[in-house]
């Protein structure tokens, strides 16, 4: 049987004109990372599926994240026996930003960070040394923005996802970030803390015993707390080391990233 078409990525919001009339705004976004034959027809197909479903005008926007400078599909047309259809949509080619690094680094738009991470991931695919340098540079650059801690953490995860490195290479990046955190006195959880927690959990599982798993979780939690809360987490880490219940330790592990204060975590076993 043929596979069903994937659902298009659509954002829908309602606004009101000055007259009080409701105005729907539907935005259909396509992100394409490689050249695909028939892509314009797919955009056209999804566009009119949305129009047919909601009975409203739709804006289809395309982000081209591929490596081919000349591939810039922006329209779809068909003509049969005098019946002609023509559909145009705006596109953004991420390769066009490759020579605008300074502009992207200085921008207050979070998407500038995402675009830069994407570009550098492609540029450094076969150069781990440059990738390490760019990962450190991008992570440090987040401190120049006045963004909320949750937004910064999301971008940290995005950068980590784009600029993948081995465990040993990430250790180099992590050391650079730890030094920067101490210098700027701005601790927040990063992808490296999550790696530490997962590593600790994995150690416990490898031992094959509940006691070993608990010990591994405690190691990961202690490191994550140190990186996120600094000296304020010293007492909390000592308390965590006294916990032997695996379920409690797992809840703490899952909650470190979203915790705002050490008290948020202490409530897990104190309540």
Q: State the DSSP string of 65-130.
A: -SS-TT----EEEEEETTEEEEEE--EEEGGGGTT-HHHHHH---HHHHHHHHHHHHHHTTT-HHH
pLDDT score at 90? 96
Give, for 26, the enclosing helix (H) or strand (E): strand 22-32
Q: Is residue 64 over pLDDT 90?
A: yes
In a domain? residue 1 = no
Residue 129: exposure state from Cβ atoms within 10 A (0-12, 13-18, ≥19): exposed
In a domain? residue 52 = yes
- Whole-model pTM? 0.62
Residues 59 and 120 in one domain: no
Residues 177 and 227 in one domain: no
Residues 203 and 182 in one domain: no
pLDDT score at 4? 37
In a domain? residue 74 = yes
Query: Could you give the number of structural domains in the chain?
Result: 3
13 beta partners: 25
Q: List the domain range (segments joined by +) for residue 256.
A: 192-270
- pLDDT tens for 225-235 read 766 666 667 78
pLDDT score at 228? 65
Last residue of a domain, one of 166, 186, 206: 186
Phi and psi torsions of 129, nearest 5°: -60, -45
- pLDDT tens for 79-103 read 999 999 999 999 999 999 999 999 9
Is 12:26 a contact under the CB 8 Å cutoff?
A: yes
Q: What's the chain's average pLDDT?
A: 79
Residues 82 and 17 in one domain: yes
- pLDDT tens for 8-58 read 555 556 678 888 888 788 899 998 988 988 999 999 999 999 899 888 889
Confidence class for position 5, pLDDT limits 50, 70, 90: very low
Confidence class for position 104, pLDDT limits 50, 70, 90: very high
Residues 177 and 117 in one domain: yes
In a domain? residue 3 = no
Which parts of the chain fold into alpha helices (H)? 39-54, 101-106, 110-123, 128-141, 149-162, 167-184, 191-207, 210-229, 234-240, 246-255, 262-270
- pLDDT tens for 179-197 read 766 666 555 444 455 555 5
- pLDDT tens for 151-177 read 877 888 888 888 988 878 887 888 787
Residues 114 and 181 in one domain: yes
Which two structure tokens, joined as six digits, stand for 242? 């006294």
Q: Is residue 71 over pLDDT 90?
A: yes
Q: Give the mean model confidence (pLDDT) for residues 119-140.
A: 91
Residues 19 and 76 in one domain: yes
């Amino acid at each position: 049987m043929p596979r069903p078409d994937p659902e298009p990525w659509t954002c829908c919001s309602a606004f009101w004109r000055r007259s009080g009339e409701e105005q729907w705004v539907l935005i259909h976004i396509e992100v394409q990372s490689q050249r695909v034959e028939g892509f314009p027809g797919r955009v056209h197909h999804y566009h009119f599926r949305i129009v047919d479903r909601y009975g409203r005008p739709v804006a289809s926007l395309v982000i081209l994240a591929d490596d081919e400078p000349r591939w810039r599909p922006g329209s779809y047309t068909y003509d049969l026996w005098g019946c002609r259809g023509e559909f145009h949509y705006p596109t953004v080619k991420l390769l066009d930003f490759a020579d605008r690094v300074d502009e992207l680094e200085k921008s207050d738009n979070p998407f500038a960070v995402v675009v830069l991470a994407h570009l550098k991931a492609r540029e450094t695919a076969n150069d781990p040394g440059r990738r390490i340098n760019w990962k450190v540079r991008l992570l440090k650059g987040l401190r120049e923005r006045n963004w909320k801690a949750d937004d910064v953490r999301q971008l940290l995860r995005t950068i980590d996802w784009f600029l993948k490195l081995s465990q040993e290479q990430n250790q180099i990046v992590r050391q650079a970030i730890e030094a920067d955190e101490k210098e700027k006195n701005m601790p927040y959880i990063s992808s490296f803390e999550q790696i530490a927690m997962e590593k600790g959990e994995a150690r416990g599982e490898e031992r094959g015993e509940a006691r070993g798993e608990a010990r591994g979780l405690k190691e990961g939690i202690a490191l994550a707390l140190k990186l996120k809360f600094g000296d304020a987490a010293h007492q909390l880490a000592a308390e965590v080391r006294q916990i032997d219940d695996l379920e409690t330790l797992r809840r703490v592990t899952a909650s470190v990233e979203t915790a705002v204060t050490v008290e948020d975590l202490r409530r897990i076993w104190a309540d």
